[in-house]
Chains A and B, each alone.
Chain A
Amino acid sequence: DAGVTQSPTHLIKTRGQQVTLRCSPISGHKSVSWYQQVLGQGPQFIFQYYEKEERGRGNFPDRFSARQFPNYSSELNVNALLLGDSALYLCASSIRGQGAGDTEAFFGQGTRLTVV
């Protein structure tokens, strides 16, 4: 399966710690977006990167940061973890970065982060 891959699949961290989540997009896709999905809610946009530049940021505190590498993979970092950061973190890749048109977002299986 050559879909979007995320690692790790599950993670348990303690309050105040830092965490790094990783995402590999579909081959040929240059855009990666990150979403947070809290239990019982729909995914909420955190960041989008296209061609290694940040192209969008959601309403999240500065504790959340991300970057995209030359191979288009991406990392999401969260510092000073809070209990409320416990969620499923989804990565989505698409061919292009923005705008209308035929740009489908393909989602990974997600990383389940539990903060205790």
Chain B
Amino acid sequence: AQRVTQPEKLLSVFKGAPVELKCNYSYSGSPELFWYVQYSRQRLQLLLRHISRESIKGFTADLNKGETSFHLKKPFAQEEDSAMYYCALRGEYGNKLVFGAGTILRVKS
């Protein structure tokens, strides 16, 4: 079964503090992992994916197959990072995204 777990419903940090949004997955093959973000009153949009190995808006995420994790990190949080973040998985033959329940990131000034 494919499953994505985001253990935190809400993460509240101060501006300038480091951020780590946790994501663990369950999948027996070689998955693709994604982070999607939804800013207030905007549509769900792709933030980054593990295969591109890039940094978007200062965020990075490394796929750890041993720990089956894909945590999202940013060294210095900004107020504009406040949003809902979803971790998602797609199987190697997949045609669907499996989402976690999401984590609200709140960056306080």
Contacts A48-B95, A98-B93 given; does A40 touch B32 at CB 8 Å:
no
Distance in Å from the Cβ of A97 to the closest Cβ of chain B?
A: 6
Q: In the complex, are the beta carbons of B46 and A105 less than 8 A apart? A: yes
Q: What number of A-B contacts does a CB cutoff of 8 Å give? A: 61
Contacts A100-B32, A107-B43 given; does A56 touch B100 at CB 8 Å:
no
Majority SS at the chain B contact face: loop
Distance in Å from the Cβ of A92 to the closest Cβ of chain B?
A: 8
* Complex-state Cα separation, A70 to B51, whole angstroms: 32
Q: Mark B73-91, 1 if CB is under 8 A from A, else 0.
A: 0000000000000101010
Q: Mark B25-64, 1 if CB is under 8 A from A, else 0.
A: 0000000100010000001111001010000000000000
Q: In the complex, are the beta carbons of A108 and B43 less than 8 A apart? A: yes
Distance in Å from the Cβ of B4 to the closest Cβ of chain A?
A: 8
Q: In the complex, are the beta carbons of A110 and B43 less than 8 A apart? A: yes
Nearest opposing residue in chain B for A97, CB measure: B95
Distance in Å from the Cβ of B51 to the closest Cβ of chain A?
A: 8
Q: In the complex, are the beta carbons of B94 and A98 less than 8 A apart? A: yes
Q: In the complex, are the beta carbons of A43 and B99 less than 8 A apart? A: yes
- In the bound complex, residues from chain A placing their C-beta under 8 Å from that of B90 are 100
Q: In the complex, are the beta carbons of A45 and B46 less than 8 A apart? A: no
Select the residue from B49, B96, B102 with max chain A CB neighbours within 10 A: B96
Interface residues of A in 48-87 (CB under 8 A from B): 48, 50, 55-56, 58
Instruction: Using CB atoms and an 8 Å cutoff, list the residues of chain A in contact with chain B.
Output: 3-4, 33, 35, 40-45, 48, 50, 55-56, 58, 90, 92, 97-100, 102, 104-110
